[in-house]
Amino acid sequence: MADRVIYAMYDDDEVLKDGAKMLVAKGVKVEEVFSPFPIHGIDPIIGIEETRLGIFAFLYGLIGLTLATLGMWFMMINDWPMNIGGKPSFSYLENMMSFIPITFEFTVLCAAHGMAITYLIANRTLPGMKATNPDPRTTDDKFVMELRTSQNTQFSADELETMVKSTGIVEFEQKDI
Amino acid sequence: MEFKVTSKAKTLTLSMIIIGAVFLAIGIATNAGDDHFLKRLLTNGLINSFFFFSLALGMLFFLALQYATETGWYAAVKKVIEAIMGYLPYGIGFMVLVFFALTITDGAHIYGWMDPDTVDPTSHHYDPIIYAKSSYLNKGFFWLRTVVYLGVYAWFWIGYKKRSIEEDRVGGTEIHFKNYRKGAVFLVFFAVFSSTSSWDWIMSIDVHWFSTLFGWYTFAGIWCSSMTVLVLLTMYLKKQGYLPKVNESHIHDIGKWVFATSFLWSYLWFSQYMLIWYANIGEEVIYYMMRIENYKLMYFGMFFVNFAFPMLLLMSRDAKRHFGTLTVIGIIILLGHWTDVYVMVSGGSMGAAASIGFIEIGMLVLMAGFFIRVILNNLTKGPLSPINHPFLDESIHHEI
């Protein structure tokens, strides 16, 4: 079946939000919204799943914790036993206090970097990746809402167009894909 | 909607007060002849009067912080904060009572520096270290400082309370900007004197020992436990059908405060411990030696509870919105922070002779019952949500 994608451009995020609310209330499925900044409260309106980035952050943190512990144990206790603070016990557990700051820092480092990289990959915005937003102006001061006819089969393309145009858009564009 | 204390809450608090009083009476009757009796009684007096006073003080600080930063989201729970803060005069009363009892008993071996023998070079108990500190640690100056701290806290409390009622009546932004200025002034005062007051009241028990971090450590404990009380009380009121303007996002935000301040407290606990452990200087490690030898389970147990429980169980977004989880963790870490104060005070005063018995449990239950009753009564004295707070609208639409 031929799919047609509709791009509706707005110049205000609040207008877009109200428009999205109205369309969703009528049963229209909004595929995606492109915006130069996060629009507060848009996710539940267009039905975007809650992010799982937090879970990933926790897992990256655990990896960092394990790596730091293993690394310090190997370097400071196993491979070259160190006299830590005048306490030559050569035991990781007894010298745990002095290892905690680095464990903490490394946990944070791994969680933060892992989260940032995962975010960039999930959004396909790693440096060098081809941009997927429909219009470069959505990185400046415009907001675009994307609808697909294949997801809104209960409406004809013309009906969709009329509905979208009544929500205060500034530009309308559609193309077959 | 006007708040009414339910008969169930009345019965519960009254029975807590009665059970506490009976336990305390049994404890006093069975221990009255002991060598350490007076010291033990006053140690517990100091622990509980300080702990519950600090809950009210923490809320006073938090309110001043919200005023100074012109925060919006908290407006819907402002009256709850003020109700907890309203325990302050009672807290101050108990603090003054305990300090008075300690002064007339020459410190009761809790404040060793109050004992005139320790600063008398001809005495058998002469202590040159205390003598060297006696220009700061003496009864007169101690009382002067205590009166200034408590007086200033009470003065700010009266001002905030008065302006809060006034704001409900007249509205406008003039009162808001006045609160803003007073909030900033309070924070400056509190930043300096929360440290020195904890040195005076708590750290001077271990009179030979000192730690510059001690003030922040105590303050972090105060902040964390008072935020826990706030979230518990807010959830209680919500469960009772009050506070229609408070939504899940407010609970989530207060839950975040509990989570964050738990980390702040753990961070400071660890910083103090690790530096002293690493340096390993006799006069510094003595504080921890005493506690590890006599309170090992309690001391490390309370650290584990106050750090690991909020970290693991409050980390997810859903947990901070779930009433059951928050209530259980809240009660546990509140007990954890009480234990923290217990080990801080008792470790210095009772040392190896400390034990948990009728006196300890009785006084805690008695004071807890009284505290709950006072804050519930405070809630009945006015509307449960502000009428004219300039950020009320923002708070009603708070969504995160």
A88 touches B: beta carbon within 8 Å: no
Please answer yes or no on whether B273 and A97 come within 8 Å at the CB atom: yes
Task: Report the C-alpha gap between B303 and A28 in whole angstroms.
Answer: 53
Q: Is B146 helix (H, G, I), strand (E, B) or coil?
A: helix
User: What pLDDT shows up at residue B316?
Assistant: 86
Show the domains of chain A with their CATH numbers. Answer: 4-49+134-176 (3.30.70), 53-122 (no CATH)
pLDDT in tens, B211-266: 999 999 999 999 999 999 999 999 999 999 999 999 999 999 999 999 999 999 99
Q: Does residue B82 register a pLDDT over 80? A: yes
Answer whether B50's CB lies under 8 Å from B201's CB: yes
Chain A residues with beta carbon closer than 8 angstroms to that of B280 = 85-87
Q: What is the side-by-side order of every strand in the sheet holding A171-176? A: A30-34, A143-148, A4-10, A171-176
* Model confidence at B344: pLDDT above 70: yes
**Helix B7-31 and helix B358-379, axial crossing angle in degrees, nearest 10:** 150
Instruction: Label residue A89 by pLDDT band (50, 70, 90).
Output: confident
pLDDT digits (tens, 9 = 90+) for B85-136: 999 999 999 999 999 999 999 988 999 999 999 999 999 999 999 999 999 9
When pLDDT is averaged across residues B126-147 and rounded to a whole number, the result is 94
- Residue contact A97–B277, C-beta within 8 A: yes
Question: So what's the pLDDT on residue B141?
Answer: 96
With a pLDDT cut of 90, the percent of chain B lying above it is 84
- Residue A2 scores a pLDDT above 80: no
Higher local confidence (pLDDT), B21 or B351: B21
Contact B85, B396 (CB under 8 A): no
- E-strand ranges in chain A read 4-10, 30-34, 143-148, 171-176
pLDDT band at B352 (very low <50, low <70, confident <90, very high): confident
- Output the pLDDT for position B33: 81
Mean pLDDT of all residues in B377-388: 91
Q: For residue B1, what pLDDT is reported?
A: 65
- The DSSP call for residue A145 is E
Q: What is the pLDDT of residues A6-39, one digit of tens each?
A: 899 999 999 999 999 999 998 888 988 999 998 8
Residues facing A143 on adjacent strands: A10
Q: How far is B273 from chain A (nearest CA, A)?
A: 9
Q: Which amino acid is at B284?
A: E
- Is pLDDT at A1 greater than 60 in this prediction? no
- Cross-chain Cβ contact A41/B399 below 8 Å: yes
Distance, in Å, from the CA atom of A120 to the CA atom of B209, rounded to the nearest integer, reads 52
Nearest to B280 among A40, A41, A86 (CB): A86
C-alpha torsion sign, points B267, B272, B273, B278: positive
pLDDT at B44: 95
Mean residue pLDDT of chain A comes to 90
Whether A41 shows a pLDDT value over 80: the answer reads yes
